[in-house]
Amino acid sequence: MARAPQGQEPRPDEGETVTLEWVAPAEALAAQAEGNFQMEFATRSVVKTLLPFADRNVQTLLDHAAALTRLPPLHPRLRLDAARQVLGVVLPGEPGYAELEGDTGESA
């Protein structure tokens, strides 16, 4: 996480990022849950980490990010149909996560 250079103009790369919209974390997650805002699981996970900073200033978030020395691992699980085709990704803490097969997240 870093500040963009002064005068930087953001624009989609038309590959992974196809639209540009500034959205508050809680609004983005709510819209995604309703099916109105597409986010891949990794983006959703990152956006969730921003929730505690919603009422704080940008410098507080940057200071927090700079102080991190280790990022916790993330162990998503796949929701599969009867033919084992992927229907979606479920993150820890989301409904149905515990019932799906997958890595427990524990080290041997």
List pLDDT tens digits, range 96-108. Answer: 998 888 765 554 3
Domain assignment of residue 9, yes or no = no
Span between the terminal Cα atoms of the chain, in Å: 31
pLDDT in tens, 42-83: 888 889 889 999 888 889 999 998 998 887 788 889 999 999
Regarding whether 101 and 61 lie in a shared domain, the answer is: no
Look at residue 11 and tell me whether its pLDDT is greater than 50: yes
Note whether residue 87 is domain-resident.
Answer: yes
Domain range for residue 64? Answer: 21-72
How many angstroms separate the CA atoms of 49 and 18, rounded?
23
Q: Do 87 and 64 sit in the same domain of this protein?
A: no
- Reduced to 3 states (helix: H, G, I; strand: E, B; else coil), residue 86 is strand
Radius of gyration of the chain (CA): 17
Note whether 79 and 100 are same-domain residues: yes
| Number of domains, the chain | 2
Instruction: Indicate if 66 and 106 belong to the same structural domain.
Output: no
Residue matched to tokens 């409904």: 95
Residues 68 and 78 in one domain: no
Domain co-membership, 68 together with 79? no
Residue 37 lies in a domain: yes
